[in-house]
A = this chain, B = another copy of it.
Amino acid sequence: MVEFKTNYQSLIENKDWKTLKFALNEFDSIQIAQIIEDISEDEEIIVFRLLSRNQAKEVFQILSHSKQEQIIEGLALNLKMLSNLLNDIEPDDRTAFFEELPGKVTQRLIQHLSPDEREITLQLLGYPEDSIGRLMTPEYVAVKPQDSVEHAFEHIRRYGRDSETLNVIYVVDNDWKLVDDIRIKEVILASPHQRIDDLMDYRFTALDVMDDQEVAIKKFKDYDRVALPVVNGEGVLLGIVTFDDIMDVIEEETTEDFHKFGSFQGAIANPLKEKALGLYKNRIVWLVALVFMNVFSGAAISNFEAVIQSMVSLVFFLPLLIDSGGNAGAQSATLMIRSLAVGDVKITDWYKLIGKEIIVSFLLGVTMAIGVAAVASFRAPEIVIVVSITMVLTVMNGSLIGLLLPFIFTKLKLDPATASAPLITSIADICGVLIYFSIASWIFGI
């Protein structure tokens, strides 16, 4: 890999475009895309222009969104290539590219599309964001139930070239309503004289064009399909979604969940490429919100000034106790967020889980109280008692907050991952402070 890099880098430095063009033929699209991701903006346009029309299309579809934008800008003076490129890329990849551009830029670029492609694109962009309509491609092959296998093959040979996949063939009736999907394996293994409806079991799973993309993820996982058909409310076949688009959505959704749980505003594509200001903006809102939330724990403590004054050593255990509640809460929130995301747990299951959590968190709290009592054993016995009781209560309190918050957010139509580890820690802290000093002032009678 190092040798190959030095090689093309020296060709770029020496502006030896002829040799580079020749060398690029040796690489596959993924490797060319990696080269383009690594080089500067000026160089990437030159390299991109050296590609054949087909290479250009394939490489473009692999590039990151920011590189794609740079390429499109760089081609502004080469209208022929720009137009070819925009028309060549698959409709679903084009939708994904357009939907992240400012509306004005999209409008301008759509002008470069052929009337057919323009119609397809405007239609796909008309579906709601995060809907299955935005993921689908209208390029598939459909046959009729009464066709013979031989006839179906002729049809596939004639119309299949533009289809994104021939792994699954769709069967529609005369109103273009979907009646079945057949794996290409069945068609190949059938005898040429069989009819398509001999191969059909009339069992298929379709996606609704208006459904959320999360529904598609679930169905792809459950049904192990490489492609799923997309229908409208009347069951008419509109397009297909292929597994590669779903892999991208899974990665995006997972990253978003992970980042939300770590209290980012939104998902960050790549920290190496993100500008410092972008990172700052994405982090500061939650951090400042948490500062103001933590002010409450300070206010809570200030009510117990007399207790602290007379027993300063109580403060030594403060971070330990409030952290323990937060830690237990982070655990139960993690479990709930992920279980809700993969569908293991539904929002109606919270009451089933709460009983179990009370038992588990009580056991956790008692074990941790024994641990902390051992550490604190050289202190006054009253302190050991206060700290131990507080430990059990804060761990149970934190665990239940961590369990319930993801459900509450789901109920409020928010992503459960909004119940971030820091948010749970902060809420658990306020409660922990109140529990700790209340018990202390009660036991010490202050």
Contact = CB atoms under 8 A, between A and B. Distances in A.
Contacts of A163: 185
A436 B334 CA distance: 30
A372 B292 CA distance: 8
A290 interface: yes
Contact of A425 (B258, B298, B345, B425): B425
B262 A335 contact: yes
A140 interface: no
How many copies altogether?
2
A345 B292 CA distance: 33
A422 B291 contact: no
Contact of A224 (B223, B224, B244, B297): B244
Interface stretch (A8-16, A43-51, A170-178, A322-330): A322-330
A207 to B, nearest CB: 15
A53 interface: no
Interface in A339-389: 339, 342, 344-345, 349, 352-353, 356, 359-360, 363-364, 367-368, 371-372, 375
A276 B323 contact: no
A364 B292 CA distance: 15
Nearest to A423: B327
Interface string A305-333: 10011001101111110111011101101
A4 interface: no
A264 B375 contact: no
Interface residues of A, number: 111
A426 interface: yes
B339 A270 contact: yes
Contacts of A324: 287, 290-291, 294
Interface string A172-211: 0000000000011100110000000000000100000000
A444 to B, nearest CB: 16
Interface stretch (A71-79, A116-124, A127-135, A152-160): A152-160
Given A221-B247, A251-B342, A290-B327, A272 B353 contact: yes
Interface stretch (A98-106, A107-115, A230-238, A278-286): A278-286
Contacts of A241: none
A336 B259 CA distance: 10
A250 interface: yes
A227 to B, nearest CB: 9
A433 interface: yes
A297 B271 contact: no
Contacts of A270: 339, 344-345
A254 B258 CA distance: 9
A410 interface: no
16 contacts: A163-B185, A243-B243, A258-B261, A258-B338, A263-B327, A263-B330, A264-B331, A288-B367, A291-B320, A291-B368, A292-B375, A294-B323, A309-B312, A315-B318, A323-B422, A330-B422
Given A160-B188, A270-B345, A271-B356, 9 more contacts: A30-B223, A163-B185, A243-B247, A257-B258, A264-B334, A272-B344, A287-B395, A290-B324, A327-B426
